[in-house]
Amino acid sequence: MKKVTMQDIADALQISKNSVSQALGNKNGVGEQTKRLVLQKADEMGYQYKKDVVYTPTDNQFALVATEFALSQKSFFGEICLSLEQEMTARGFYLTTLAVKPNAIAENQLPRELEEKKLAGNFCFVAY
């Protein structure tokens, strides 16, 4: 059986090889619908994913996702964020803080870093 390539998937979907590459790597530049179509076609065709592309969480990396408003409230959310970061660090974990802008909330978008980073989990603070 012939090895399935990105070009084979691109030809089957009538899109560019670059779009297939971006979709398989979960990169920006292609829409969510295109990503789903590419992943579905890749599975149908028996495409073998490279090990460095497959999602594998890092068990000590976490993200704190909060609205800009929540992060600006130093006397309440600020104390919670600081305590959370101190506890995570003391236990050997890494915590990345990601701010969600008001326009992203209106458009139901999460920070791009959530898809790009290999995280073990997330903490979310929503206030606006």
Is 51 inside a domain boundary?
no
- Tell me, yes or no, whether 80 and 116 share the same domain: yes
- DSSP character for 65? E
- Tell me, yes or no, whether 68 and 112 share the same domain: yes
- DSSP character for 78? I
Burial class of residue 100 (count of CB atoms within 10 Å of its CB; 0-12, 13-18, 19+)? buried
pLDDT at position 1 is 66
pLDDT in tens, 31-74: 888 888 998 999 889 898 764 444 445 678 899 998 888 888 88
Is 55 inside a domain boundary?
no
pTM of structure? 0.51
Is 115 inside a domain boundary?
yes
In whole angstroms, how large is the CA radius of gyration of the chain? Answer: 19
- Dihedrals phi, psi of 85, to nearest 5 degrees: -60, -45
